[in-house]
Structure 1
Amino acid sequence: MDLPNLPLLLLLMFASTINAQTLFPRPVCYNTGNFTADSTYLTTLTTLLSSISTNYLSVTYGFFSASANVSGTSQTVYIIGSCLGDLTTESCRACLSGSAIDISHLCPIQKAAVLYSENCTVRYSNASILGTITTYPDFELVNVNNVTSQDTYNAALGTLLDSLRGEAAGSGPLRKYATGSRSAGFDTIYAMTQCTPDLTEQQCSDCLVTIIARLTDCCAGKMGVRIMAPSCQFRYETNDQFFNPVGDPLQPSPAPPPPPGKSNKATVITIAITLPLGGVMILLSLTCCILRRKRKKMNEAVKGKSGANELTTMESLQFDLATIQAATNYFSHENKLGEGGFGEVFQGRLPNGQQIAVKRLSQSSRQGDGEFKNEILLVAKLQHRNLVRLLGFCLEGDEKLLAYEFVPNKSLDYFLFDLEKRRQLDWPSRYKIVFAIARGILYLHEDSRLRIIHRDLKCSNILLDNEMNPKILDFGMARIFGVNQTQASTNKIVGTFGYMSPEYAMHGEFSVKSGVYSFGILLLEIICGKKNNFYHQLDGGKYLASYVWDQWRDGKPLEVLDPAIGDTYTRDEVLRCLHMCLLCIQEDPAIRPTMATVVLMLSSNSITPPSPQHPAFFVQSRLRELSIPMEELELDQSTKRTIPSSTNGMSVTELHPR
């Protein structure tokens, strides 16, 4: 069979009456060359396929790969097998073993083939396939029933799949698998994305982007779709959770017990080996105890008030101080990327060649133990392409260090507020950045395992990668909400003046809607190319939000557009963004849209938003009139009023009532 240019398309309803055996296995035998029945190629291939079941340690973490040279030739045979991420170890091995037998019968003489089964995929080739993206041939299963409201459904589905794509791609080398759900009107969409773990994060993301894009051609608006490609796959269903909860990563099974009937000589040899090993194990145990005590002492600084060490589960992310010092050349000035109120940031390179950015908290920083612990426990659980990924931390002596993925293009404010660099941000680039930030915040508010309010969203906390894709960072001040929680209050006002919603700045009340307010201010700055307090500094009385509202009310909204954008903008997109900005910064949180609505408005013209009312820029004006030095923002317990904050853009952290 020739390598197809079109997918294998099967239009079937996903119903319990359909037997999976009628759908699977689904083989594709490539026409890249054949071998004879008695060839050494067949012998090598058979040996590799059988090793799945004969070698107890061959399948680890739901993935199998092997290669071997064909005796007497220059050829090499490569094999890859992968299981669905929610399969147990034994179920995975059984599926791969069965598929290995099936593929040898279904493609008896071909040098390359792929076999899709319901729970696993096996493929082999005479060309290297490990670490390469392969998206053809794919296998498509489609529910022929249509959804009722395609615009609403497709928008929710696109957001969910995009979120799961980032989570799967960034979930590390052991299991690139993610599941989740999302409401779409009266329906609930359940979805799964997965890549083979030999792909890099970028390769996994690219693979999923490619096959998810095929929805438009084959099955847009259908109630259920599954597309399987050699390197990645995804599936979604409506009102039917098809996946199981995922626990720890699949572990290799222990080796089987030795067969009975061993001789006395074998027993003597076993004892001779076991005794010295026992001594070694005792020494190792003592060493581990010492190390545990040392680590326990190191982690005392970040224990909770209850005394429980919340970092125990994060030990796998812990770096040695010597490793970080070597990576950053002992925090040399040449490796310094920047500095803020929390401390310094350094560029580094790990021994495996990976570039990192290290945040070194200063001893005088008000972002102390609480924020340090919060960021570790929180960010390590987040996986999205528009969030900066935490790689690890170090806590030794007086050093508190956080190691992140390295994002090369600095922060958004570095470009946006520079007279020359802002020209690199034309309107398509800014619109792309806005949409990606919105998707990242939506993930935090609705799609992550935890509902999270960032509380310090601003341009300096948005990094840009090589392709100017934004990544949100700095979760030291973030708060976790319960699944059904909608609002909370605090006596500690943290964040940056000018980005705080009025109900938070004045009463300590925050919710997802206070996050929407911060996004609205951020979006204003991106459109106008000016800081929120620019016009206040210019004429002594008017903030950016006030200026934009006046221009909108007077029918001159395009007057606020950054001149550096030139003629690259689309009028309808600019007006829609400005309209959305003003809705996001409304005084009443109930009037502000959710981030789901924001993403939908950015991706579709199908929604007609309500007319905005007078926005909530009055808070800054009131605070500015007070004569108290604007250095801190604190909440008075008795009067529930605020004492002003800094206007220099620095974050306010961990402030207590007097």
Structure 2
Amino acid sequence: MDPPKLPLLLVLVFASTIDAQDLFPKPYCGSTGNFSANSTYQTALTALLSSISTTNSLSLTYGFFNASFAVSGASQTLYVIGSCRGDLTSESCRTCLNGSASDIRHLCPLQKEAVLYSENCSVRYSNTSIFRTVKTDPDYQLFNVNNVTSPDTYNAALRTLLDRLRGETAGGGSLRKYATGNTSAVFNTIYAMTQCTPDLTNQQCIDCLVTVIGRLGPCCAGKMGVRIMAPSCQFRYETDDQFFDPVGEPLPPPPAPVADALPPPPGGKSNSNRTVIIVVATSVSAVFLVGVIVLLRVKRKKQPRQRVEGETVDEISTVESLQFDFGTIREATDNFSNSKKLGQGGFGAVYMGRLYNGQEIAVKRLSHNSSQGEVEFKNEVMLLARLQHRNLVRLLGFCLEGVERLLIYEFVPNSSLDQFIFDPLKHANLNWDRRQKIIMGVARGLLYLHEDSRLRIIHRDLKASNILLDSDMNPKISDFGMARLFELDQTQAETNRDRGDLYAMHGNFSIKSDVFSFGVLVLEIVSGQKNNIFRAGDHAEILISSVWKNWREGTISKIIDPSITSSLSTEIVRCVHIGLLCVQENVANRPTMASVLLMLNSHSVTLQVPSQPAFFMHSNIESDMSSTQDYNSRVSDVDRLRSKSNQFSNNEVSVTEPYPR
């Protein structure tokens, strides 16, 4: 569906000037084609929408309806989804859905797909499958015309509340994904609710809410109340709790799984007069599946545990469905031919391959002599198999056979960002729009790692060479070889050998380490320069210090890539500003990635004045130090230098403490 640009409605919440009846129902009639009046298609649609009033499915008890019709003679299937607010009673939900079903038939009489939003429910139908599929358009945006008095404080409290509710909603189970909560902000209490249709997976629900909540900035940041409804999810917040029940109606006890009764077909095999086949999903298969999973887990617990040396194999067996045969991968890469080699990483080489079905893959072959190879392999498989985000490189599978340990990824055709941004010719292909798109994509991927994935992850090695670009130049964060997990309530990861976590051997890491690396990346993208160390008389200067100096002197245009200076705009300067906030010396002053994404999305968010960035202060440089030494200034390099700092003499390099940890 290609909906028109949606108008923003000014809603005077709880005021008499605008009533909810004036705002709903809100239809969006599709533009993918029409069916003929009195056709089989129309008959099927009418029957499908009418079945809401008669169905006794378990899901409707929890505020959700889905069904499909196979249209005889039309080679098409119709799909309908109805969803009610999570605090609505089952009877109120049925009433709302019935009314919306009637409205959508009259307001979109011949369209093959449509969405209709009502005050307490929504109905949509399509001739393409919409079940278990994330749809965020068309959306319906409403906001309170009153502004908050302290937007920064209010937005920070709101962001924290919505982040918490997003996780609670996604974990709500397969019958209801709905959460409410409140928090204090300045002189107000913010009440909020978030909801997804329960057919979505946990991750799909998170992705949907991230997208829809991300529209808050461009739409109505700083407003006292906002409601954005999308086909698959919605959220709302106000400073008044009258719009929702904070406690919520308790979930009714699940009845015995009984299939919806369907009328038997006419006797005999003749069924030519029947033009519609009604298919209504039941919960029998779900109950059966749960039983199978329980049996498998019990069986696994009864199996004897392997010796310690075999624990890697034991854990990876949980994702054995992803396992590739070594011979298949060897054939796909022409026996790991040099002509197929894409590059060499810290733990092995990466090859391009092509499977028998024509699918292109990237294969990471861990070095046999790598002391951390097995741990690295286990870490990447167990993490990446659980991560799904459009801005992360996707793990397709693995191979574990003898000394061979392979990781199989999706193939990303446009190589890495450093091959473009630092290339004297290719960098011209990255105009500002593309660079901004890359910055936004990396921010979203990093936010997912920090807050939205099942496991909270610190990447620890974010840099231009680890950002891959697909055919549309969309960024994908790669190489989670340095990624380390940290507990949900931890703000900083520390070494814990009893638990087996492999954090920094020297120094501590936190999400603010990744924020620093992101800031460096932003400055590199804007300037087109690596964060190099170079000689400047008796001292050395890196990109960060150069940007900081020009920022303070009001000559920021000097560090911006000449190929995009013609489009010099407030967006570019704002990105430099955000980059400097990320690399501040004081770790506590650095923003979280959630705040960074909000700042990137919304110009209404006021940026703090950045303080001095963290960077090395060098002195007494030896003559054998190259005048232009490549330096990535990533946290991993900091630790490496710190670990050797006691070995340095006074005539070598001294490192000051205020560098990011």
* Band the TM-score falls in, shorter-chain normalisation: 0.5 to 0.7
User: In the TM superposition, what is the alpha-carbon distance from 1:368 to its structure 2 partner?
Assistant: 1.9
Find the counterpart in structure 2 of residue 467 from structure 1. Answer: 472
Find the counterpart in structure 1 of residue 319 from structure 2. Answer: 315
- Deviations along 1:242-273, one digit per CA (max 9) or x if unpaired, are 8999xxxxx99966699xxxxxxxxxxxxxxx
Find the counterpart in structure 2 of residue 370 from structure 1. Answer: 375
Find the counterpart in structure 1 of residue 400 from structure 2. Answer: 395
RMSD: 6.4
Mapping of 1:380-529 within 5 angstroms? 380-490=385-495, 507-529=506-528
Q: Which runs of 5+ in 2 are unaligned?
A: 249-253, 262-291, 498-502, 626-630, 649-661
- 3-state SS of 2:344 partner: strand
User: In the TM superposition, what is the alpha-carbon distance from 1:340 to its structure 2 partner?
Assistant: 1.5
- Deviations along 1:30-68, one digit per CA (max 9) or x if unpaired, are 9956756xx866764566568888898999xx7845343
- Deviations along 1:304-342, one digit per CA (max 9) or x if unpaired, are 7xx9x5446x52762332696289356654654333222
Amino acid at match of 1:519: F
Q: In the alignment, is the contact (CA less than 8 A) between 1:114 and 1:121 conserved in 2?
A: yes
Normalising to structure 2: TM-score of the pair? 0.63
Pair 1:362–1:82, CA change in 2 (3 A): farther
Find the counterpart in structure 2 of residue 275 from structure 1. Answer: none
1:543 and 1:135 map into 2 onto residues whose CA distance is 43
Find the counterpart in structure 2 of residue 604 from structure 1. Answer: 603
2:465 and 2:572 map into 1 onto residues whose CA distance is 23
2:175 and 2:356 map into 1 onto residues whose CA distance is 23
Find the counterpart in structure 2 of residue 570 from structure 1. Answer: 568
Find the counterpart in structure 1 of residue 615 from structure 2. Answer: 616
2:424 and 2:198 map into 1 onto residues whose CA distance is 45
- Deviations along 1:58-104, one digit per CA (max 9) or x if unpaired, are 99xx7845343356xx58562232658989xx989x97899479736
Amino acid at match of 1:398: V
User: In the TM superposition, what is the alpha-carbon distance from 1:478 to its structure 2 partner?
Assistant: 1.9
Q: In the alignment, is the contact (CA less than 8 A) between 1:298 and 1:396 conserved in 2?
A: no
Pair 1:550–1:4, CA change in 2 (3 A): closer
Pair 1:368–1:118, CA change in 2 (3 A): farther
Does residue 236 of structure 1 match 2:241? no
Pair 1:41–1:639, CA change in 2 (3 A): closer
- 3-state SS of 1:618 partner: coil
Find the counterpart in structure 1 of residue 81 from structure 2. Answer: 81
1:587 and 1:216 map into 2 onto residues whose CA distance is 30
- Deviations along 1:220-258, one digit per CA (max 9) or x if unpaired, are 5444444445x444213358898999xxxxx99966699
2:167 and 2:408 map into 1 onto residues whose CA distance is 20
1:177 and 1:76 map into 2 onto residues whose CA distance is 30
2:621 and 2:496 map into 1 onto residues whose CA distance is 20
- Deviations along 1:469-510, one digit per CA (max 9) or x if unpaired, are 322222222223333323344499xxxxxxxxxxx9995122
Find the counterpart in structure 1 of residue 71 from structure 2. Answer: 69
Counterpart pick for 1:328 among 332, 349, 358: 332
1:378 and 1:414 map into 2 onto residues whose CA distance is 27
User: In the comparison of the two structures, how many residue pairs are matched?
Assistant: 574
Amino acid at match of 1:441: L
1:158 and 1:513 map into 2 onto residues whose CA distance is 18
- Deviations along 1:190-222, one digit per CA (max 9) or x if unpaired, are 5647589799x99x98999699759866x6544
Q: In the alignment, is the contact (CA less than 8 A) between 2:10 and 2:144 conserved in 1?
A: no
Pair 1:238–1:454, CA change in 2 (3 A): farther
Pair 1:521–1:226, CA change in 2 (3 A): closer
Using the aligned pairs only, state the percent identity: 46
1:242 and 1:624 map into 2 onto residues whose CA distance is 71
Q: Which runs of 5+ in 1 are unaligned?
A: 246-250, 259-283, 493-503, 645-658
- 3-state SS of 2:235 partner: strand
- 3-state SS of 2:587 partner: coil
Does residue 360 of structure 1 match 2:365? yes
Amino acid at match of 1:609: Q
Amino acid at match of 1:558: S
Normalising to structure 1: TM-score of the pair? 0.63
- 3-state SS of 1:236 partner: strand
User: In the TM superposition, what is the alpha-carbon distance from 1:401 to its structure 2 partner?
Assistant: 2.9
- 3-state SS of 1:407 partner: coil
1:253 and 1:327 map into 2 onto residues whose CA distance is 52
Q: In the alignment, is the contact (CA less than 8 A) between 2:28 and 2:116 conserved in 1?
A: yes
User: In the TM superposition, what is the alpha-carbon distance from 1:460 to its structure 2 partner?
Assistant: 0.9
Q: In the alignment, is the contact (CA less than 8 A) between 1:163 and 1:447 conserved in 2?
A: no
Pair 1:299–1:546, CA change in 2 (3 A): farther
2:362 and 2:247 map into 1 onto residues whose CA distance is 36
User: In the TM superposition, what is the alpha-carbon distance from 1:420 to its structure 2 partner?
Assistant: 0.9
- 3-state SS of 2:461 partner: coil
Mapping of 1:532-551 within 5 angstroms? 532-533=531-532, 535=534, 541-549=540-548, 551=550
Mapping of 1:615-654 within 5 angstroms? 615-618=614-617
Mapping of 1:240-319 within 5 angstroms? 303=311, 309-311=314-316, 314-315=318-319, 318-319=322-323
Q: In the alignment, is the contact (CA less than 8 A) between 2:84 and 2:93 conserved in 1?
A: no
Amino acid at match of 1:568: S
User: In the TM superposition, what is the alpha-carbon distance from 1:414 to its structure 2 partner?
Assistant: 1.0
2:110 and 2:419 map into 1 onto residues whose CA distance is 53
2:255 and 2:560 map into 1 onto residues whose CA distance is 58
Pair 1:401–1:466, CA change in 2 (3 A): same
Pair 1:175–1:413, CA change in 2 (3 A): farther
Find the counterpart in structure 2 of residue 103 from structure 1. Answer: 101
Mapping of 1:329-344 within 5 angstroms? 333=337, 335-344=340-349
2:28 and 2:547 map into 1 onto residues whose CA distance is 59
Find the counterpart in structure 2 of residue 264 from structure 1. Answer: none
Q: In the alignment, is the contact (CA less than 8 A) between 1:367 and 1:476 conserved in 2?
A: no
1:453 and 1:508 map into 2 onto residues whose CA distance is 14
Q: In the alignment, is the contact (CA less than 8 A) between 1:582 and 1:615 conserved in 2?
A: no
2:214 and 2:493 map into 1 onto residues whose CA distance is 37
2:256 and 2:22 map into 1 onto residues whose CA distance is 31
Q: In the alignment, is the contact (CA less than 8 A) between 1:345 and 1:359 conserved in 2?
A: yes
Find the counterpart in structure 1 of residue 280 from structure 2. Answer: none
- 3-state SS of 1:303 partner: helix
User: In the TM superposition, what is the alpha-carbon distance from 1:416 to its structure 2 partner?
Assistant: 1.8
Find the counterpart in structure 1 of residue 282 from structure 2. Answer: none
2:357 and 2:121 map into 1 onto residues whose CA distance is 31
Find the counterpart in structure 1 of residue 283 from structure 2. Answer: none
2:389 and 2:583 map into 1 onto residues whose CA distance is 26
- 3-state SS of 2:423 partner: coil
User: In the TM superposition, what is the alpha-carbon distance from 1:411 to its structure 2 partner?
Assistant: 0.9
User: In the TM superposition, what is the alpha-carbon distance from 1:454 to its structure 2 partner?
Assistant: 1.6
Q: In the alignment, is the contact (CA less than 8 A) between 1:633 and 1:642 conserved in 2?
A: no
Mapping of 1:3-14 within 5 angstroms? 11=11
